[in-house]
Structures are given as structure tokens and as C-alpha cells.
Amino acid sequence: MKTLRQHHKLLGWFMICLMAVWLPGNNLRAATFYWDSDGFITGNDATTGDGLGGDGVWDLSSAFWWDGDASMGAWNNSFNDVAIFAGTAGIVTLADLVSAGGLTFNSRGSTITGSTLTLGAPAGSNSPVINVGLMNSATISSLLAGTQGFTKTGNGALVLANAANTFTGDISIKQGSLVISNAWQLGSGNTAISVTGIANTGNPGFSGGQLVLNGIDGGVIMTRDISVSGRGPGAVNSSGGLVSVGNNVLNGNLVIASGASEGRVTATHGITTVNGGVQLGAGAAQLFYGNGNWIINGRVTG
């Protein structure tokens, strides 16, 4: 009888586990929600951005999030939910510790400031995504936390402005520009920054990624490795998978893997000093571009 009871307990536990897998739950369904600081559904349009956006306070109790249909609600702090900022660009101030599975900016000049924003990958994904649309820009002044880094997509510019960011994990820049003025704005991780500066087709255009080191106000000192593939977004000569503005220092390794198109890194308005190694990949040409100067103290291989 004891053996039979144990068998029943084991079977019951197994069925509970199966039900947890079979039964749909909110924690398994990723969703997108639009920031709507006026709290009214009337006039909202996800395509045009009408009725959406604006200045406001992002907390966990105010119903400022539109589901794209007929409901407004408060943010539920799930890594499975993506916050979309469209319509009127505004300053969104975090009043609580906020968690999100990704951010999308479809307006020019949006800013997130205030408390800590923790990013985590939604179910089925390896990384949270920050998407900034073409011709748009966004600044995150809030402290960014998390353990899974993020992937930058969209052809717009993302500025990280908090030098106390604590997030770790991989940073992958696949589209558009990621702009920093202090290395700690890239978090406290130590993995290489990956920049895919060209589309999979090998044709230059507005589809590649770009890391911009804005050292005009004092210089950026990078200790992490930077891996650049391709020539960056756009076809202009000032473009590059890595753009160094001002007097910046790279103490980590710089890997330039050109692939189907030239690999390009650009320096402008100052001196960029590379103390780490420089590894040149096979393929098309690798170019050091721009009106700035390069000083390479590290070993060049490839």
C-alpha cells in the first residue's frame, strides 16, 4: 500500500507539471503596450501614433498603458511585456522599480528618467530588445539593470546617459546608433560589444549598427573588447561600425571583421588611442576613416 501511495503521489506531481506546461498563462504570453499619458483610449492609433505618448510618470498603479485595442491598464512589471513609445515624444519619469522585456521608440526625442529600469528577455528570446525607429531618437537616463544585456535594433539613435548602469550580459548593436559618453553607461559587464555594421546582404545602407563614443566632453576610456563587422549604417564617408568622437582610449581589443563589405572604424575631432590589440579579419578591406587621428599602441594581427 505504501508503494501504491507513493506511486499516486508521483503521478499527481507529474500531472501538475504537465498542466503547468499545457495550460496557457499570462507569464508565457508576450505582449506589447503603448504609453498613453492621458489615460484615454479615444483617438489612439497605433499606426500613426495619434493620441499616444507625452510626458508622465511611469509607476505600477496608473492606467497609462494601452493594449492596442480596447483596454487601458497599469504596467504589470513582466519581462514578457514590451513598452512602446509612439506619438508625442515626452519625458517619462519612473516612480517605481520597473521591469520590462524590451522597449520600442517610434517618436523623436523620447526620454526615460527617474528610478531603475530592469530589462530581461521575454519567453523564447535570449535578449531584451531596444528598438528605435528610423529618424527617431531616445535617451535613457534611468539606471539600467538586468543580467541579459540587450540587443539594439531599429535605425534610430539610442543614447545611454546614466554612468551608474549595472546591467550585465551581451550587448549587440544590429541596427542604428548606440551613443555613450562614459564606458559605465554600457553597464558593468565584461563581454565584447558586438556591432553588426552591415545588413546580411552585404550592401551598405540604413540597416547596419554603430557604436558611437562621444568623448567631446572628456573622453571615453573603454576596457571591453569591441567587435565590428561592416561599415555602419548609411553610405556616407563619416559612417562606421565604430565612431570615435573626441579623445578616446580603447584599452580592450578591437576586432574588425569586414565580411562581404569593407570594415570601417571612424575617428573624428580628436585622437583615438588603441592600447589593446587590433585584429583584422579576412574579406574585404578594413579602413580607419575620418578627420581624427589614430594611435595604435597594441599589436596588429590578421
Rounded mean pLDDT of the chain?
A: 87
* 289, part of any domain: yes
Q: Are 90 and 55 in contact (CB under 8 A)?
A: yes
> Within 13 Å and on the Cβ side, how many CA atoms surround 211?
28
What's the pTM value of the predicted model, to 2 decimals? 0.87
Q: Using alpha carbons, list the distances in angstroms from residue 7 to 13, 18, 65.
A: 10, 17, 48
Q: What are phi and psi of 159, to 5 degrees?
A: -110, 125
118-123 mean pLDDT = 97
Q: Are 214 and 180 in contact (CB under 8 A)?
A: yes
Sign of the C-alpha dihedral computed for residues 292, 183, 179 and 196 taken in this order:
positive
* 135, part of any domain: yes
* 292, part of any domain: yes
Residue 12 banded pLDDT, cuts 50, 70, 90? very low
* 271, part of any domain: yes
* 39, part of any domain: no
Confidence (pLDDT) at 264: 83
Sign of the C-alpha dihedral computed for residues 203, 149, 27 and 103 taken in this order:
negative
Residue-wise pLDDT for 72-115, tens only, equals 999 999 999 999 999 999 999 999 999 999 999 999 999 999 99
Cα-atom radius of gyration of the chain, to the nearest Å?
22
* 6, part of any domain: no
Residue 232 banded pLDDT, cuts 50, 70, 90? confident
**Number of domains forming the structure of the chain:** 1
Confidence (pLDDT) at 230: 75
Pure H helices in the chain: 2-22
Which domain, by its residues, includes 287? 81-301
Least confident range from 6-15, 46-55, 149-158, 209-218: namely: 6-15
* 171, part of any domain: yes
Sign of the C-alpha dihedral computed for residues 288, 290, 295 and 297 taken in this order:
negative
Confidence (pLDDT) at 283: 64
Residue 17 banded pLDDT, cuts 50, 70, 90? very low
pLDDT at 8 exceeding the cut of 80: no
| Better pLDDT: 296 or 258 | 296
Q: Are 280 and 256 in contact (CB under 8 A)?
A: yes
Sign of the C-alpha dihedral computed for residues 235, 199, 190 and 110 taken in this order:
positive
* 267, part of any domain: yes
